[in-house]
Structure 1
Amino acid sequence: MSKRQWDILDAATKIFAEKGYEGSRTSDIAKEANIAEGTIFRYFKTKKDLLIGLLMPLMIKFFKPLMFNSIEKIMNNEKNEPINVVLKNIMIDRMALVRKNKPLVKTIMIESIYHPELLEPLQKEIAPKLIPIIDKFFAENIELGNLRELDPRLITRSVMSLIAGFSVLNSLFPEVFTTEGDEKEMEKIVDILINGIGGGKK
């Protein structure tokens, strides 16, 4: 992909995130990219092609680091750390990645409701490779006695839901869900995950 195409996609990401897909015009995208509107159509025939084109930067900037880099690195480097420390560091790492790519993630998240084909690479390529890595991590910690004997996939789903929910709520309602910072907040979330919310009364 050429630099010009990347510039157009970066501009489209900003405009779609600000105005939504339906409310955006290619003239706005051209202005943001500092190019003539006709230049866009040399690379992307329609506005829909632009939206689908966002999948490439999403895969490269977001999900490849998510899959192959930091999660496995954290898991491998911190095998001797307590489970709560490892989980906290994974969650902090994920939140940093979401924030770094917030306009792109926001656009894909919202527009996938109306254009489900945007999720196909995630469903067909990413999830089948990522989820077993996380399952294995939890299975190993169950064997070590660090976690209860539960289905590792259930734990994976619960942790991913916590991260996704935290990200969405902080993006959509930042004035309501204020935090003390990622590290403090993730410590609390991991504590709830490991110890539950019960008061100990029977």
Structure 2
Amino acid sequence: MSEQGWIQELLRVEKNEDVKFSEKQLKIVEAAIDIFSEKGFAATSTSEIAKKAGVAEGTIFRHYKTKKDLLFSIVRPTIEKLLAPHFAKSFAKDVFETEYNSYEEFVKALATNRYKFLKGHFPIVKIFVQEIAFHEELRGPYIQLFKEHIYKHFKKIVIQFQQKGELIDLPPDTIIRLTISTIMGMLVVIHFPLTDDDFETELERSIAFIMKGLSTK
């Protein structure tokens, strides 16, 4: 899907209607994604967005009451609507409905799946990661999505490998948190964006780190 085609889909989700959007509105959203991703929400002004989009600043406020409304129109529907089907159907199926010979094998599949997803949605994910700590309106839907579609499957796999004697006797929630924080740190916090070669190298190091701390061997 082209960048503008993807933005059209995003706007339709936010409006909950199948309508066409003006070229100016598409340019506003595209410019906002670029600048929010590069500079962060707080450091971005609507005048900068307007300049990059090639529109008058007042045009932004005809579509969005505030800069925060513009941010949420981009990030919130992505998390609530566009990503939810992906989590429920693709992520859960591809990662959690597979039999693994080891926890290490599972973590590699998990990280590889998320890396492929990030490559197609990196600017939005970067904005989300930058802003989630500052906006409860973004945290809530994400936490709910995780609980509904991911947590129970993840916990089942952790318990499975604990019962096999591969993982140490920590609460499953702790193991899940340590695993996710390490993988997400590799993908979007420390090294973004990763090249394919970087990913393979960092994945090996990250899995070794995780297993050194969690393995019973």
Give the TM-score normalised by structure 1. 0.75
Q: Identify the match of residue 80 of structure 2 among 43, 59, 66.
A: 59
Q: Give unpaired runs (5+ residues) of structure 1.
A: none
Q: How far off is 1:142 after superposition?
A: 2.3
Aligned residue number for residue 171 of structure 2: 151
Larger deviation: 157-166 or 2-11? 2-11
Matches within 5 A, 1:79-98: 79-98=99-118
Q: 3-state SS of the aligned residue for 1:117?
A: helix
Does residue 187 of the first structure (1) align with residue 204 of the second (2)? Answer: yes
Matches within 5 A, 1:1-202: 1=12, 2-4=19-21, 7=26, 8-30=28-50, 32-33=52-53, 37-54=57-74, 55-62=76-83, 64-77=85-98, 79-123=99-143, 125-129=144-148, 130-166=150-186, 167-171=188-192, 180-196=197-213
Q: How far off is 1:48 after superposition?
A: 1.6
Q: How far off is 1:195 after superposition?
A: 3.1
CA contact (8 A) 2:79 2:142 kept: no
Question: Which letter does structure 1 place at the counterpart of 2:132?
Answer: S
Question: Which letter does structure 2 place at the counterpart of 1:24?
Answer: T
Tell me the matched-pair count.
Answer: 193
Question: Which letter does structure 2 place at the counterpart of 1:170?
Answer: H
Shift in alpha-carbon separation, 1:137–1:33, aligned structure 2, 3 A: farther
- Quote the Cα distance in structure 2 between the aligned partners of 1:60 and 1:30: 27
- Quote the Cα distance in structure 2 between the aligned partners of 1:106 and 1:140: 33
Q: Deviations over 1:79-115 (max 9, x none)?
A: 0443322211211221332343222222222233443
Q: Deviations over 1:130-187 (max 9, x none)?
A: 2222112212222344433432211111101101222301139x8xxx9953233223
Q: How far off is 1:70 after superposition?
A: 2.2
Identity %: 28
CA contact (8 A) 1:61 1:101 kept: no
- Quote the Cα distance in structure 2 between the aligned partners of 1:3 and 1:40: 17
Q: 3-state SS of the aligned residue for 2:191?
A: helix
Q: Give unpaired runs (5+ residues) of structure 2.
A: 1-11, 13-18
Question: Which letter does structure 1 place at the counterpart of 2:121?
Answer: N
Aligned residue number for residue 7 of structure 2: none
Give the TM-score normalised by structure 2. 0.71
CA contact (8 A) 1:88 1:183 kept: no
- Quote the Cα distance in structure 2 between the aligned partners of 1:193 and 1:67: 26
